[in-house]
């Protein structure tokens, strides 16, 4: 019998499910290798009870309904893999706003506000609620990294994930350094690799969409950018666009 897997999306842009569906060349093989039994984004008939080998989960958790659904997925899954920066770190919906959340809601919905019945909590990563076995970071995830993780897990291996920053891949591509040479606010030194330094390859400074690398030294990058005359508040908001809740817990200011 083929191993059963489930694919789930909570609050987010659906980017990870789209990247999975974008594996056009490999999709038929994937359908052959696993039984995707629960995938509301792709199927109107789903098995919502049987035991799963792996659950792939994208999106952040923003309300009680989502939290309850996530717990149900955790209970029936051998492995729970957080896919994308919303699921891994909180993502863009959890970034710092200039005003308190109640004020932001007022700015968006007007002074009459949203209905009292709405359940509108802040957005948190999956690990705020359940045990997560593996993070596939990225906004969105990289197709090849996803496929590599799937084949490793199906073969009983522990997937090898990069534990080095974007800078390393950028150097290997022999890109000119956007931070040092051009003085651009590049998040490459504190961002986990795996994208092959995609943005610097287009002369665009890394925006940190893959989230922080292990032991990211946020204090140091802030200092470098301050020396380049960027405002500290601006730098912080920039560096905390994709992983604010995660950084609140792990940040090292060495």
CA distances 4 to 53, 147, 179, Å, are 6, 16, 45
Q: Does 49 engage in binding with another protein (CB under 8 A)?
A: no
Q: Does 227 engage in binding with another protein (CB under 8 A)?
A: no
Determine if the peptide bond prior to 140 is cis (ω within 30°): yes
Q: Give the span between the Cα atoms of 162 and 165, in whole angstroms.
A: 8
Q: Does 252 engage in binding with another protein (CB under 8 A)?
A: no
Q: Does 243 engage in binding with another protein (CB under 8 A)?
A: no
Q: Does 28 engage in binding with another protein (CB under 8 A)?
A: yes
Nearest to 242 by CA among 210, 199, 215: 210
Give the footprint of another protein on residues 102-161 (CB under 8 A).
103-105, 107-112, 114-115, 117-118, 120-121, 123, 139-140
- How many residues bind another protein (CB under 8 A)? The answer is 69
How far does CA 170 lie from the centroid of its chain? 21
Rg (CA), the chain: 19
Near another protein by CB under 8 A, which window of 33-41, 73-81, 165-173, 212-220? 33-41
- E strand or H helix at 69: helix 64-76
Q: Does 13 engage in binding with another protein (CB under 8 A)?
A: yes
Q: Give the span between the Cα atoms of 84 and 132, in whole angstroms.
A: 13
Q: Does 24 engage in binding with another protein (CB under 8 A)?
A: yes
Q: Does 45 engage in binding with another protein (CB under 8 A)?
A: yes
Q: Give the span between the Cα atoms of 109 and 49, in whole angstroms.
A: 38
Give the contacts of 51 (CB within 8 A, at least 6 positions apart): 4, 76, 77, 78
Q: Which is nearer to another protein, 35 or 133 (CB)?
A: 35
Give the footprint of another protein on residues 171-210 (CB under 8 A).
198-199, 201-204, 207, 209
Q: Which residues bind another protein (CB under 8 A)?
A: 9-15, 17-19, 21-22, 24-25, 27-28, 31, 36, 39-46, 60-63, 65-66, 91-93, 95, 97-99, 103-105, 107-112, 114-115, 117-118, 120-121, 123, 139-140, 198-199, 201-204, 207, 209, 234, 237-238, 241
């Amino acid at each position: 019998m083929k191993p059963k897997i489930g694919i789930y999306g909570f609050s987010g842009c659906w980017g990870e499910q789209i990247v999975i569906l974008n594996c056009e060349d490999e999709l038929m093989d994937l359908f052959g290798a696993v039984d995707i039994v629960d995938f509301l984004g792709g199927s109107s008939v789903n098995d919502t009870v049987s035991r799963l080998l792996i659950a792939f989960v994208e999106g952040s958790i923003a309300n009680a309904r989502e939290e309850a659904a996530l717990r149900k997925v955790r209970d029936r899954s051998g492995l729970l893999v957080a896919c994308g920066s919303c699921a891994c770190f909180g993502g863009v919906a959890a970034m710092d706003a200039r005003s308190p959340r109640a004020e932001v809601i007022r700015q968006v919905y007007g002074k009459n506000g949203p209905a009292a019945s709405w359940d509108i909590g802040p957005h948190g990563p999956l690990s705020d609620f359940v045990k997560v076995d593996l993070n596939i970071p990225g906004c969105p995830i990289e197709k090849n990294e996803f496929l590599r993780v799937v084949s490793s897990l199906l073969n009983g291996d522990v997937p090898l994930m990069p534990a080095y920053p974007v800078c390393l891949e950028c150097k290997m591509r022999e890109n000119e350094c956007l931070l040092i040479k051009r003085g651009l606010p590049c998040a490459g030194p504190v961002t986990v690799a795996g994208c092959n330094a995609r943005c610097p390859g287009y002369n665009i400074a890394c925006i940190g969409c893959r989230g922080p690398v292990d032991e990211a030294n946020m204090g140091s990058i802030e200092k470098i950018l301050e020396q380049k005359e960027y405002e500290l508040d601006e730098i912080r908001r920039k560096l905390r666009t994709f992983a604010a809740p995660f950084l609140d817990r792990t940040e090292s200011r060495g």
